[in-house]
Structure 1
Amino acid sequence: MTKTLTLYRPDGMSILRWEDWTRPKREYQWKEGRSAMELAKAWFRGDTLSVPAELQTLLLSTSWLRGVKLLSGVPEKVTRLPQRGEGRNHDLALIGEATVHRLTVCIEAKADEAFGNETVAEYWRRAMKRRESGISTKAPERIQALLQMVGETGVPTESRWGAVRYQLLAAICGTALQAKLDSSSLAAFVVHEFHTDLTFMENLSRNHRDFERFVQTLCSDGITVAPNRLYGHFSVGGVDCFVGKVIAVI
């Protein structure tokens, strides 16, 4: 029997139209031309639910995912991260099957919103200042735990990951952790970028630089990073992970 793709809200209800999509935490983020709504629309470009062509092409670009078929997904899926605090919020978390592997795909949707406000080093310094001022926080332990997942030890400010956006570190680690929960042997973290009338080239360029630095840090070399290409695999917390970016021009 052929398995069909189904998306669910966190409450278990099926998503049958893009309007049924789970809303982001902040209502102002649900707006035409911005990432949350454009991601929802991308999965309903025709009359029924279907995988965006650019995402399907990306996943099929590696022999590791030959025959991949996405089966289910949940928008606004939250994966618990190490230590106390807020979990990793995936804009969309998906489960699929390839010829010989089970796969978890976690999507970060972007128009031209930044990958957070802080690098790993900046977040570490702020967390340590909070602790030194007497405020209880487990953020330093969380940062170190995430860095250990990508093979880093020692002081975060001296790490090669120090200049990487913390959101991207949390994203790849959250993807690996979700893959373990899904019993998946492979994982892919994908940025789905939307170019709309509301996006600005300087912001898109900034995001490209930040994503490129992230991929180069994973690869440990100075490769040129381009969209529509999967990079990897990399071991993150014991899970083989790929990363990539696709672009949709609206």
Structure 2
Amino acid sequence: MGREDVQDVMQAARDRKRRDRRGPRRDGRCLRIPERFDGWRAATMATARRDNGGSGMIEKDGRRLTTLAEWRSHAPPKRAMHWKDGRSAKENARLWLDAAPDLPSGIADLLGATGCIGTLRSWSAEPEARVRFDALGEPANLDVLVQAQDGTGPVVIGVEAKADESFGSTMNQTLLAAEKRLAGNSRSRGVERMRVLATTFRLDLARPGISELRYQLLTLTAATVAEAGRQSAERAVVIVHELVSGLAKPEYRARNARDLDGFLEAVFGHTGAVRPGMIAGPFRMDGVRALYFGKTETVA
């Protein structure tokens, strides 16, 4: 074997190693995710629009939704104040309705950037989905829950739409409120739920910084993974969709970005910012083989 042949062999080995580090192959099959994969420590920019074939629908309780009036009537937001121009609930509804039967382009781009999800054959989106992840309290409320199918099998996507609204209470605030409820009602299970979530996400509540994580990010993730388990889906995606308008305050959006990045670092060891148009993963959790987190942005 000549010198050039040796160099070619060494280059091929380096190329294989580089592909392995990047995680799953970009053919929708997730073949390169080992049983104990700890997470791809990078965020990838979504650069190519996905063609989803116009194969989806938006529905609630068996009723297909095609107008803003139908969405508001059958899937109203928990807070009526969010149903107005420039705020998350109404702008999110408008975006999905305008895109159907395609996915919103930012969502489709993120799925393509996973390298693990192929062109969708079909999808169904449920707005204001109440998704159980345990038997210890109220279900999580997801702005949009998507059940989809590509050439490999089912995929579950949980979407949280934000203008500049926060991710809610911190872990510490939620725990204190749960302890107060337990003191007045021995049947309250909020404290138990917090302990179960901490175990699920392998969090030490006494560790510095953990108490400041946003509780909603844990329940959003837990609910998406739980639904993936119910649908026998090995792949799940959690997406934060920023809907930017003149009403959104930049400092509140910056806070949300810090909270998401802090959550991903504390729970999954992912370092670096996940900016709009970027995807992080795959990560492993019990019940799902490949879990991704993405962020997209739409100017409302």
Q: Given the two structures, how large is their TM-score scaled by the length of structure 2?
A: 0.75
Amino acid paired to 2:102: S
> What is the match of residue 49 of structure 2?
none
Matching residue within 141, 148, 154 for 1:102: 154
Relative to structure 1, the CA distance from residue 149 to residue 159 in structure 2 (aligned partners, 3 Å threshold; closer, same or farther) is farther
| Alignment pair present for 1:249 and 2:249 | no
Within 1, Cα distance between the matches of 2:273 and 2:77? 32
Alignment identity in percent? 28
| Alignment pair present for 1:207 and 2:256 | yes
| CA deviation string 1:47-87 (max 9, x = no partner) | x5431111101110021113235511111111113233211
> What is the match of residue 139 of structure 1?
190
Note the C-alpha offset of 1:129.
3.7
> What is the match of residue 43 of structure 1?
96
Note the C-alpha offset of 1:141.
1.0
Matching residue within 199, 210, 222 for 2:271: 222
| CA deviation string 1:168-198 (max 9, x = no partner) | 0111011101111222111111011100121
Amino acid paired to 2:166: A
Give the secondary-structure state (helix, strand or coil) at the position aligned to 2:113.
coil
Give the secondary-structure state (helix, strand or coil) at the position aligned to 1:51.
coil
Relative to structure 1, the CA distance from residue 160 to residue 148 in structure 2 (aligned partners, 3 Å threshold; closer, same or farther) is farther
| Alignment pair present for 1:75 and 2:127 | yes
| Alignment pair present for 1:84 and 2:133 | no
Note the C-alpha offset of 1:115.
0.5
| CA deviation string 1:30-55 (max 9, x = no partner) | 11111111111111336x54311111
> What is the match of residue 127 of structure 1?
178
> What is the match of residue 14 of structure 1?
64
Give the secondary-structure state (helix, strand or coil) at the position aligned to 1:209.
helix
Within 2, Cα distance between the matches of 1:34 and 1:149? 33
- Higher relative CO (Cα under 8 Å, sequence separation at least 6) belongs to 2
Give the secondary-structure state (helix, strand or coil) at the position aligned to 2:178.
helix
Whichever of the two has the greater Rg, that structure is 2
Within 1, Cα distance between the matches of 2:140 and 2:65? 22
Note the C-alpha offset of 1:160.
5.9
Matching residue within 196, 209, 212 for 2:245: 196
* Structure 1 unaligned regions, length at least 5: none
| CA deviation string 1:104-138 (max 9, x = no partner) | 0011111001110x211331233224324555421
> What is the match of residue 174 of structure 1?
223
Within 2, Cα distance between the matches of 1:235 and 1:204? 28
Within 2, Cα distance between the matches of 1:39 and 1:54? 12
Instruction: Check the 8 A contact 2:154/2:233 in 1, yes or no.
Output: yes
User: How well do the aligned residues superpose, as a CA RMSD in angstroms?
Assistant: 2.1
Instruction: Check the 8 A contact 2:55/2:102 in 1, yes or no.
Output: no
Number of aligned positions between the proteins: 244
Note the C-alpha offset of 1:9.
1.4
Instruction: Check the 8 A contact 1:177/1:237 in 2, yes or no.
Output: no
The within-5 A match list for 1:113-124 is 113-116=165-168, 118-124=169-175
Matching residue within 213, 226, 235 for 2:284: 235
Within 2, Cα distance between the matches of 1:206 and 1:40? 24
| Alignment pair present for 1:185 and 2:234 | yes
* Structure 2 unaligned regions, length at least 5: 1-52
Q: Given the two structures, how large is their TM-score scaled by the length of structure 1?
A: 0.89
Relative to structure 1, the CA distance from residue 150 to residue 121 in structure 2 (aligned partners, 3 Å threshold; closer, same or farther) is same
> What is the match of residue 79 of structure 2?
26
Give the secondary-structure state (helix, strand or coil) at the position aligned to 1:65.
coil
Instruction: Check the 8 A contact 2:163/2:243 in 1, yes or no.
Output: yes
